[in-house]
Structure 1
Amino acid sequence: MRCPSGLPTDEKTSPKGICGGCSNYPPSPIAVPTSDGLNLYFYALTAHFGQWLQVGRRGRKVKQWQVAPGLIYGQVKKSYQRRRLVGVSHVMRLGAPSDLKVVLQGLGFSGRLNTAFIERVNLTVRHGVSALARRTWATAQQSPHLLAHLEWWRAYYHFVRPHESLRVRLVQPRERGGKRLAQRYRQRTPAMAADRTHRKWTACEVLSCPLPPVSA
């Protein structure tokens, strides 16, 4: 199967969520979320990760929401005085600190509870999707339009845009002719670093692959 750009839509070359050949990705396990101390995050996570169970109560069966037993969630609460940070405390809302440390270390992280990564991701998304920026005139009017914009940005970020931190030093610098300096690094996109594709895509190739239907 190929998308309109002529590229094969297998899991090695197609961005997930862009072409139709990525339905064979393995399901993702329960995440290990961390956030700041806003209570709304706790309510949203416990409402998403779980299932309805039928329990007997006074001779009748009722449905009761059961939070997923494997969910681990920690918060970083910061205290301010006169707009200055005066203290940081770590609070485990679900699970134990030792469980969180083991899971994070298994994913290749240090095991410390922090929000640096998610805050960096949020800032990157806000810079890439105008509808999610603060104090913007480009607000999305409908959910499908926002989802389509977000999926397009994800494909561009992972398949089109090279990342300086992912570049690889060449064993032998390549001469580029003229007065230009020799090329010492090979630029890579996140998809190339993850071995999902062997080259950098163009924006035209990404736009030629249709998006899957999204619901409001």
Structure 2
Amino acid sequence: MKEDLDVVVLILTLLTFGCPLPAIVMAFKIDERTIGDWLDKAGEHAQRVQDHLVCQGQLDLGQVQGDELWCRSQRGVLWLATAISVASRLLIWGNVASGRTEAMITDVVQHVHRAARLQSPILWATDGFATWKGTILRIFRSAVQSGRRGRPRLVEWAELHIVQVVKRTYGERTLRRLAFGDLFEALHVIEETQGKRGTVNTAVVERLNATLRTWLPDLTRCSRHAESDAQRLERRFFLTAVAYNFVRPHRSLRVLVDGRWTERTPGMAAGLTDRPWTIEELLRFRVPPLQTVA
């Protein structure tokens, strides 16, 4: 039974980092449906781990970049919206939908709001998709008590800023603009998270999209292994997301410790863990049950 568990962990590790499913089937002589069932269960568990560790608040996110990417499925085009903290490279959340919908963006923004420390400075950098701005302004609000009866007035966070990067076609230059907030403060957040040479851009989340397409064959635009539905793709995305955050160190996050360069995971950079995990540790992580109010 122990050997069987080792095989499951090995197969899930290979799949998490982009090994094609047909190669796994041929190498281990295991039915594709069985492996798919393992992936679904591991993905559901990873989603709970992500929600528990990342989206419980008290994180100074600084600059957050949001974007969407699309892929083909057996039932049409699917969209994946993601948000990432630039300073720590922490992938905060993602949502898969059958269209580029407001509900998809809302789910991502709500989880970022849960992860962020209340009223902490935060800069959102997105593309020109207008739904991002409207959703952020609707969710990143706090109640202002006036002493009067009735529902308190909701106002946007004082340290909330939104910038947009609109890419033009036909040789026109990229348009960078402030959509909400203070330009000076927004540039200050960019300098803190990207350095003095930082500019208004969505380069970090676009680099994340490239990594996801590498690790998740289902996201490849011309894939021969198109996923069957949005729910299954979302489960596998979260397995990849947690591995991205807690398992694989990033060279861009390395720090000098005692004269030696030490590579860190985004989870380490965000202060959520003190060492890289293994896939087995991820699968064995126990998520506390939700507490219900009597």
TM-score, structure 1 as length reference: 0.58
Q: 3-state DSSP class of the match of 1:154?
A: helix
Contact map agreement 2:142 2:154 (CA 8 A) in 1: yes
| Structural mapping, 1:1-216, within 5 Å | 17=49, 26-27=58-59, 28=116, 29-51=120-142, 65-81=154-170, 85-110=171-196, 111-129=198-216, 137-138=226-227, 140-142=229-231, 146=234, 149-164=236-251, 188-190=263-265, 194=269, 196-198=273-275, 200-211=276-287
Distance 1:52 1:97, change over 3 A: same
State which drifts further: 110-119 or 123-132.
123-132
Contact map agreement 2:167 2:173 (CA 8 A) in 1: yes
Within 2, Cα distance between the matches of 1:19 and 1:65?
Answer: 26
**Residue 163 of structure 1, CA deviation:** 4.0
Within 1, Cα distance between the matches of 2:124 and 2:218?
Answer: 24
Contact map agreement 1:163 1:187 (CA 8 A) in 2: no
- What RMSD, in angstroms, separates the aligned Cα atoms of the two structures? 4.5
Distance 1:114 1:204, change over 3 A: same
Return the letter of the residue paired with 1:209: F
**Residue 101 of structure 1, CA deviation:** 1.0
Contact map agreement 2:250 2:266 (CA 8 A) in 1: no
Distance 1:65 1:157, change over 3 A: same
Distance 1:38 1:114, change over 3 A: same
Return the letter of the residue paired with 1:71: L
Larger radius of gyration: 1
**Residue 106 of structure 1, CA deviation:** 2.7
Considering fraction of residues, name the structure with more helix: 2
Contact map agreement 2:166 2:175 (CA 8 A) in 1: yes
CA deviation digits over 1:58-83, x for unaligned, max 9? xx9677653323210111223222xx
Q: 3-state DSSP class of the match of 1:79?
A: coil
Q: How many residues align?
A: 177
Q: Structure 2: 5+ residue runs without aligned partners?
A: 1-47, 60-115
**Residue 187 of structure 1, CA deviation:** 7.8
Contact map agreement 1:131 1:139 (CA 8 A) in 2: no
**Residue 41 of structure 1, CA deviation:** 1.5
Q: Structure 1: 5+ residue runs without aligned partners?
A: 1-15, 172-184
**Residue 94 of structure 1, CA deviation:** 0.6
**Percent identity of equivalent pairs:** 23
Distance 1:23 1:104, change over 3 A: closer
Q: 3-state DSSP class of the match of 2:175?
A: strand
**Residue 107 of structure 1, CA deviation:** 3.0
Q: 3-state DSSP class of the match of 2:122?
A: coil
Distance 1:23 1:32, change over 3 A: closer
Contact map agreement 1:49 1:68 (CA 8 A) in 2: yes
Within 1, Cα distance between the matches of 2:255 and 2:145?
Answer: 55
Contact map agreement 1:19 1:212 (CA 8 A) in 2: no
